Structure 1
């Protein structure tokens, strides 16, 4: 990889980054994606795609590729409390389950086919510049370090990474109390449903994916994990403890077998608000703000945000917007589109982590199904008309 000048540097080749890259490349922009890992790779993610993802795949022109994976259709979510209270939410149309290993690689291939240069094992180690003068980034690929120039930089690097440190982002100064774990299991079929089971200090999701396995992904407070995992931090000890805290979850895990070689883990999962524009870098996906996993909307939001970042980048490249316009407009548009969903997700997660709120809440939703429908609707995208570029 030799140093050169491009129109847009996209840091991170996940959903948001690839959506941005293929959108820009199809408009004729010179785009390079710096992805720190090689495809395919696993990620700590619940891997449930909410129903509106099908629309986003259509806008990105990858619907046939996605359908070829034969993902299971998921038409309902089942939520249970430690005490066994259950609430089922049915979707107006099905979502799907796809592993990030398959989906990220598919989108990276589509970005390449659109004309983007997707560089694997490429880590951005430093960056300088702004939207007025352009940027210069240091990128390490193996033993080789190069300097790249870009007119615009999109940060789509996930929840937290070395790129955040390179930018000196403020959220890194605050210790985050959550740990995430993920593995694949063979277990009892879930009948086209995604499950979410609460336990003290956390919750665990079950979602069928295209491989025929079930994704088991959980979020737990660090203090609760440490108490249950013991002094050695043994994940299996924690999982055995977790299975005893929720009857439905324990029954399923008791009949299931882990097929992953090991659990994937991530610490200090950040749910605090972050700037959507930081150091003049347009943030997208979890880099701009992570919705609570229980909302089931994270991957749809990543695709949306990637396309929105591409729209603003293209408008700057075409001189339809000035750097000042982008600074004002992008952050405002991001807040309008995602802010309420993030706040609702944090509020719902706070309730889920408190059994004294969760159990009466689930009983109420069973008696008032319209309220449940409203909650589901308001964690999702209410504006399904047209391309996201209509915000400009």
Structure 2
């Protein structure tokens, strides 16, 4: 059996793994990245990068916002309760005031190739089978095998050896599961359903969210008798994100805090919604460019601990999706950067001291995101109650002042520096101080 040694092994070359690998390689570490597929490969996503995500791209040295294929947007258009608001991304010190859209088919390969260019070694069509451990119980590598483009094992197996493993293997969290770290049932989960449509509005300056997402009511129910034929609002939103290439990413995201979760056909809800509003974007079923696909959204640290015996969990594998808006790209890249900082800082310490220091990764992500994710869990529970969702849409959407605050909160775009905070920032900061940080251990 072949053996390959490195300083760090990264399992998964999505935004979390590729970002971590690029940062580590730039710090001088020998990094191996194992990716089970071959690029380009797809990922079910809205394809939108908020200013936080754009900021992480800049820290990677991968700012391509002015290049073709990266569509810039100025803010968010919110629709619901008979209201329509266009709100620019807020100005926050240190962050750009614009977002981007880029298909994940291209974005993920951009990040992976950037990691390679930074010095990381990328193994495509290489499936991580399971972590391996030394006599002392700490991880000492990953057993992996070559695969074909259909994901089937074709061998031979290779033992990739390293004292640190970064598990960035997505929603399946295969590495964490094999270590016995099951997902937490006290965290919200979501589902995303999306496809692409050709549209003449592909160059729109705003990404668009429809907050009043209602399935058709079942015949004979109280909802069916209300007159509009629609059921209660679902905790989530429908989106239309212009891609700048003649298409829009169109989809919806739903939280499991709703009593309707798992009881409705989300693809049908998407079709019905497009049928009702598609004329605004001049889309219908004749201009779709591909099938409807769906994926789970693991939220609010739903898999813990984030550090265990030399293995660090990153991105979706750690449940780092924002409960407020279902966004995961920026938190994936941020977790990759935080992991790289800890690993690189203590790389040359004696073994015992380095192992103690690596616990700092879990403390770091908890400090950065714990309280915010706790707020997100509270929010998810609130909007899971149809009567509260109705009130929020009816009265909240009528106030531009309130909705500016909501955009800041939902996109996590506020200043943590007292001297730079506006009134909205002070309120969000105070809310974060009031709630306990979501635990990640």
The residue aligned with 2:199 is 187
The residue aligned with 1:388 is none
Deviation by residue 1:271-324 (Cα, 9 ceiling, x = unmatched):
253322245311121222232475364222211111110011112213296311
1:217 aligns with 2:251: yes
CA shift in 2, pair 1:88/1:351, >3 Å:
farther
- Given that 1:47 and 1:100 are in contact with CA atoms closer than 8 Å, whether structure 2 keeps it comes out as yes
Report the alpha carbon displacement of residue 41 of structure 1 after superposing the two structures with TM. Answer: 1.3
CA shift in 2, pair 1:364/1:227, >3 Å:
closer
The residue aligned with 1:334 is 365
CA shift in 2, pair 1:105/1:343, >3 Å:
same
Listed as ranges, the gaps of 5+ residues in structure 1 are 230-234, 386-392
Report the alpha carbon displacement of residue 108 of structure 1 after superposing the two structures with TM. Answer: 0.8
Aligned mate of 1:150, from 119, 138, 162 = 162
Deviation by residue 1:111-141 (Cα, 9 ceiling, x = unmatched):
1111101111211111133898552211111
Report the alpha carbon displacement of residue 60 of structure 1 after superposing the two structures with TM. Answer: 0.9
- Given that 1:203 and 1:353 are in contact with CA atoms closer than 8 Å, whether structure 2 keeps it comes out as no
Aligned mate of 1:126, from 126, 130, 147 = 130
The residue aligned with 1:232 is none
SS at match of 1:39: coil
CA shift in 2, pair 1:80/1:350, >3 Å:
farther
The residue aligned with 1:286 is 316
**Cα distance between partner residues in 1 of 2:131 and 2:141:** 6
Report the alpha carbon displacement of residue 144 of structure 1 after superposing the two structures with TM. Answer: 1.7
Report the alpha carbon displacement of residue 355 of structure 1 after superposing the two structures with TM. Answer: 4.2
The residue aligned with 2:389 is 358
The residue aligned with 2:183 is 171
CA shift in 2, pair 1:162/1:332, >3 Å:
closer
- Given that 2:201 and 2:281 are in contact with CA atoms closer than 8 Å, whether structure 1 keeps it comes out as no
* Greater mean alpha carbon deviation, residues 192-201 or residues 220-229: 220-229
**Cα distance between partner residues in 2 of 1:177 and 1:20:** 25
Report the alpha carbon displacement of residue 253 of structure 1 after superposing the two structures with TM. Answer: 7.4
- Given that 1:125 and 1:166 are in contact with CA atoms closer than 8 Å, whether structure 2 keeps it comes out as no
Deviation by residue 1:16-62 (Cα, 9 ceiling, x = unmatched):
11111011111111101111111111111111111133332222111
Aligned mate of 2:403, from 346, 358, 372 = 372
- Given that 2:207 and 2:242 are in contact with CA atoms closer than 8 Å, whether structure 1 keeps it comes out as yes
**Cα distance between partner residues in 2 of 1:217 and 1:116:** 34
- Given that 1:43 and 1:264 are in contact with CA atoms closer than 8 Å, whether structure 2 keeps it comes out as no
**Cα distance between partner residues in 1 of 2:342 and 2:312:** 9
SS at match of 2:115: helix
Give the length in aligned residue pairs: 374
Matches within 5 A, 1:194-273: 194-197=207-210, 198-200=212-214, 201=234, 202-220=236-254, 224=260, 227-229=263-265, 237-243=268-274, 248=277, 252=281, 255=284, 257-267=286-296, 269-271=297-299, 273=302
- Given that 2:197 and 2:288 are in contact with CA atoms closer than 8 Å, whether structure 1 keeps it comes out as yes
- Given that 2:139 and 2:311 are in contact with CA atoms closer than 8 Å, whether structure 1 keeps it comes out as no
CA shift in 2, pair 1:263/1:31, >3 Å:
same
SS at match of 1:102: helix
Deviation by residue 1:124-167 (Cα, 9 ceiling, x = unmatched):
11113389855221111122211111121111122224333322
- Given that 2:83 and 2:398 are in contact with CA atoms closer than 8 Å, whether structure 1 keeps it comes out as no
State the TM-score, normalized to the length of structure 1: 0.83
Matches within 5 A, 1:2-13: 2-13=2-13
Matches within 5 A, 1:81-96: 81=80, 83-92=81-90, 93-96=97-100
Q: Which has the higher helix share?
A: 1
State the TM-score, normalized to the length of structure 2: 0.74
* Greater mean alpha carbon deviation, residues 179-188 or residues 42-51: 179-188
The residue aligned with 2:74 is 75
